[in-house]
Chain A
């Protein structure tokens, strides 16, 4: 279970003025839940994800994971505790190959066959990719899928994904939906996924709407999604 208690995150802008990106958020995410976070751009969704995985540290407040205070815990220690993260813009490397990232994600030496199996799960023809370098030669969509393959290889209790659908073509998108469903159903894991896509919101148990650094709404998908899809009525979240 993940708990955020009065979490605030401040940064200084160019004029040295403090600006709150996340404003006093408190929420609880239960185990084995599929949570979709949505809301307007600039609302603090990615910042919230980075606070959960430890890339940012809250200015105020507390984050608890399974009862342990992880507020000041490093990215590494949170990863070891069972929190995974898929970046919105996957990081590129010179010389590190796809198989290296999959091996590091799995946390053990892998046979080529085992590494390939993870890539196949995200719809990549594994033999074409396993020896490729994770650099500019891979497209944005390919990198996103490799990012998700790493989450599958890590197989941790909690996975946080920041807009995994961005840059992915329609055909692959359908398959990715299946991947997310499988991650939830097969493995009984918790997933927090930032998305603007109706089809992703539709498979969530709960939807959290963020606006202006605050939780605008948080509840069961059946209650929130119809509101979001009402067209102009959804403006209440986007004003």
Chain B
């Protein structure tokens, strides 16, 4: 693995050298390294590119890292990764994709991650998407992550997804089915676009289990001439509760469109949606300037805090 690949790996997965626990590194469409543990197995799919990650019931305090890195310009990579998280387990899954484009062709990664969260299992899923380019290259960095989540009775999944600049075009599609009683989903999505980038963020959540809950907070910043669309559709089919918050800062000539939808098909479904788009408040800038920051420094602090 060369330095570009090592740097990408560190950025998207906080991996320095060889990660602890189970891991699968995909580099330029090929297997770059794999380790399994007694409780976590990783198996290459036979029908499609990608892997099955099988976590035994009762596995606790273990982690899986499955980063994807692309450093060849013009590579188009598509993977299917399926996670089977056994009953009663408690694990951290770190995924991430980094592209370093050194040429004038588009580099593209499309990933479909499917999670089957077992009964009373807890998962923390951390996903970072990152792109960079050599100076003066025109090749676009494209990522289209699709995430599908099924949560059984008492299961819990917390998803922390981040994409801070660097990706020219993205469609981020997340679908969740809270099928079991008391199934829980927490999503913290952070997105920043700049230049002429475009990002679509789509969330569809079906709450079918009695007592299921969904808490989705999306924070987005669009700078320069970038554009973003945000669509969240939450459907309550049982006694359930959900809270969706879409908060966005626009700057320069950027444009953001947010379309919230909440749909209650049960009398006891309690669904809340909050959405706000606006520029950085002038009083916030002035406040930080009274502490000695320049307007640009104040802007950076406000955005860093907003996306923290």
Contact = CB atoms under 8 A, between A and B. Distances in A.
Interface of A: 53, 55, 74-76, 79-80, 84-85, 87, 90-91, 93-97, 100-101, 104-105, 107, 150, 154
Given A91-B283, A91-B284, A79 B305 contact: no
B294 A76 contact: yes
Interface string B263-294: 00000000000000000010110111111111
Contact of B305 (A75, A87, A100, A105): A100
A97 B305 contact: yes
B295 A104 contact: no
Question: Would you call the interface of chain A mostly helix, strand, loop, or mixed?
Answer: mixed
Interface residues on B, range: 20 to 34
A84 B281 CA distance: 20
14 contacts: A75-B289, A75-B290, A76-B293, A87-B290, A90-B287, A93-B302, A94-B219, A95-B219, A95-B308, A104-B288, A104-B301, A107-B291, A154-B291, A154-B292
Given A96-B305, A154-B292, 10 more contacts: A74-B289, A75-B286, A76-B292, A94-B306, A95-B308, A96-B301, A97-B305, A100-B301, A104-B291, A107-B292
Interface of B: 219, 247, 281, 283-284, 286-295, 301-302, 304-308
The 5 closest A-B pairs by CB, nearest first: A95-B305, A96-B305, A91-B287, A79-B292, A75-B289
B305 A94 contact: yes
Which secondary structure characterizes the binding site on chain B? helix
Contacts of B307: 95
Nearest to B298: A76
Contacts of A84: 290
A150 B292 CA distance: 12
B247 A94 contact: yes
Contact of B290 (A85, A94, A97, A100): A85
Contacts of A53: 290
Contacts of A104: 288, 291-293, 301
Contacts of A55: 286, 290
Contact of A76 (B247, B289, B301): B289
A76 B286 CA distance: 9
A93 B290 contact: no
B289 to A, nearest CB: 4
A189 B292 CA distance: 18
A93 B219 CA distance: 13
Contact of A87 (B281, B287, B302): B287
B293 to A, nearest CB: 6
A96 to B, nearest CB: 4
